[in-house]
Amino acid sequence: MSWTQWFIFILILQVIHGLGTWKLYIKAGRQAWEAFIPVYNAVVLMKIISRPWWWVILMFLPIVNLVMIPAAWVETARTYGKDSKLDALLCIVTLGFYLYYLNYVADVHYIEDRELKPKTSTGEWITSILFAIVAATIVHTYFFQPFVIPSSSLEKSLLVGDFLIVSKLHYGPRVPMTTVGAPMVHDTIPVIGKKSYLFDDNFEERNSSWINKLQLPFLRLPGFENVERNDIVVFNQPADTLLDMNNFNPDRNYYKPIDKKTNLVKRCVGVAGDTLEIRDGYVYINGKQNELPPRAHLQFSYEVTFKRQLQPARIYEIFKKYDITDFPRYGSAELAYIVPAATDEAIAQLKLHPEVAAVAPIKQVEGERDLIFPRDPNYNWNSDFFGPMWIPKAGGTVQLTTENISIYKRAIAEYEGHKVVTRGNQILIDDQPTTSYTFKQDYYWMMGDNRHNSIDSRYWGFVPNDHIFGKPVFIWMSIDGINDGLKNWKFRWDRIFTTVSGGPERTSYLIPFLILVLGLTGYNKWRKKKKSKQS
C-alpha cells in the first residue's frame, strides 16, 4: 500500500478502536471522544492501563507492534478486572475484539491502582521474554545486526567464518517493509524451514494478492554517511528468487519483499553517477583505475604448472604457505593445477618456488561475450572486460535507445515500478513513447574482491538504494573451518574484536574489551557490597 492508503487504513483502525473502547474510557474517568483521536487515544490508553507513554511508539513500529498491540489488549482487559489466562487468550485470538464484549456486554469496573506485576511466576517469565524480544528486535532492526560471512567473495578482506556486527546507523536504518513476520528472523524460520513472513510469492498473484498490500513503502531514517566508493556493504540481492537463501535449486521462482531477499556482502566499487568500466579484471571509474583501501586484496584465478609430479598434500602445503586457501583443481595439463583465487602478492612469491615451472593468469578475452549483465548481444562483455556504463543517480537523466535499454530496463521496471516495452525502434514507458528517463533513486555497483569467484553486479546489475541494508563495522568473532562442519575448526584470534575497515595493520580490541568487562563486573560487586553494608 502507498502511504496514503496506510493513512486511511490507520484511520479506520482508530474508528474500530474507538467503537470498541469508548465506554471503557468513560469508566476510567475520561471522555468518550478521546477513544477516537489517532495517537492521542493511545497516549490516554497508556494512562488508563498505567503503562509508560513510550509504549505508544512501540505500537507503531513494524514487527515490534505485533507484540505490543496484543500486550495493550491484554493490559486493557486486566485494568477492568479480566486478568485470567482465558481473558488474555480471548484478547489475542479475537484480535482485540474481546474488548467490544467488555465495552458493551460485561459489567466491568475500572481498577485504578491495580498490581502491575504478574500474579504468577509463569506470567512474570512470559512478560520478561516478550519484552526481551521487543528490545532485541528494536536493536536488530534499527541499530545493529549480526551477520556471518557465508562465501569467499571478499577474501582476503573478509573471511568465511567472520562474524560481523552490521551497523544500520551509518546509512540510516531502513524501516521494515514487511509488516507481518517473525521478529529477528530473515526469510526462513530455523529448524522448521518455513517462510518467516506473510507474503504471496507467486508471480501471477504477487501484485494482486491482498496479503501483499500489507507491505510498507520504502522509508529510510537519517544516517550520518552515504554509501561511498570502496565501502563494504550488506544489501539485499536484487535478483533473489530463492525460497531458502541456502538452497540454490528451488522448484520455482519465489518473489519476495525487498527486506526479505537474501542478504549479501560485497564491496561497492561504483556509486551513483559514476561511469564504470572493467579492463583485464580491474575496475576503472570515470576513466581512472579504482584504488582500493589498504586491507583490500584483489584475487584472480591462475593455472600453476609444477616441474614434476607431487603428492596432493605437498601441493596444498605449497599453496597454503602463500595463503592460497581456495581449493585447487586439476588444470589443462598433467602437472597443472587451477588456483581459483590468489592475490598478486601470493602469485609473486609462488613464482619463486623451486617446484613451480610456470604461473599463468586465467582471464577472458576482450570482446568475448559471456552470460553476464545485461545479457544482450549488443554488448560483448564478460567478467574481465565490461563497460563503460553509467550508473543511475537519483535525479539523473539517461537518453534511452534500443541499444542501451537492456542496461536500464530492469531498474526502470522492477525497481522504479514502470511498464517498459520496446516496439521496433520505439521505447514505451507506461505506454508512452519516450527517449529519456529520470531516475528516482541512487544505484550502486557491488563486486567481490575475489574477482573470479563472486556472483555480483556483473551478473545481476545495479543495486538500488532501497536494497541497501547496512555497513559492517566490527568482527566480533572469527572461526576457521566453519564450512567444514566445524570438524577441525579453530579461532582466528588475530581477527576477533577487530574493525572491518582501517589501516593496513589489523588491531584487536579483545584485551581492552575483556579488561573493561572485568572492571565493570568488579565495580558492580563492590557497589552491591557497599550498599549491603550501609543497609
Distance CA 419, CA 439 (A): 14
> DSSP alpha helices (H): ranges in 382-509?
405-410, 457-460
> Among all chains, which residue has been given the C-alpha cell 556493504?
233
Matching residue, cell 577472458:
364
CB 458 within 8 A of CB 383: yes
Residue 533, CA atoms < 13 Å, CB-side half-sphere: 6
Map grid coordinates 537523466 to a residue: 397
Q: Please report where in the chains the cell 553494608 appears, as a residue.
A: 533
Q: Name the DSSP letter for residue 504.
A: S
DSSP characters for 488-503?
Answer: S-EE-TTTTTEESSSS
Distance CA(346)–CA(326), nearest Å, equals: 13
Provide the terminal-to-terminal Cα distance of the chain, rounded to the nearest Å: 59
- By CB atoms closer than 10 A (0-12, 13-18, 19+), residue 454 is buried
Pick the catalytic residue from 168, 266, 409, 471. Answer: 266
3-state secondary structure of 179: coil
Asked about 151 being catalytic, the answer comes back as: no
Q: Say how far apart CA 329 and CA 340 lie, in whole Å.
A: 8
Three cell numbers written together for 254: 519465489
Q: Is 153 a catalytic residue?
A: yes
Strand partners, 356: 306
Q: Are 270 and 288 in contact (CB under 8 A)?
A: no
CB 188 within 8 A of CB 244: yes
CB 149 within 8 A of CB 454: no
Q: Distance between alpha carbon 104 and the CA centroid of its chain, in Å? A: 46
- Please report where in the chains the cell 500489507 appears, as a residue: 214
Residue in this structure with the C-alpha cell 563472486, named with its chain if needed: 454
Task: Say which residues have a Cβ less than 8 Å from residue 121's Cβ, sequence separation at least 6.
Answer: none
For the beta carbon of residue 202, count every other beta carbon within 10 angstroms: 12
Options 82, 152, 153, 196, the catalytic residue: 153
Distance separating alpha carbons of residues 390 and 387, to the nearest angstrom: 9
Q: Hey, what's the cell of 462? A: 545495479
Q: Are 92 and 79 in contact (CB under 8 A)?
A: no
Residue 261 contacts residue 238 (beta carbons within 8 Å): yes
Q: Closest Cα partner for 448 from 306, 307, 297?
A: 297
C-alpha cell, 378: 549488443
**Prior bond to 388 cis, omega within 30?**
yes
Contact 294, 499 (CB under 8 A): no
Active site residues: 153, 266
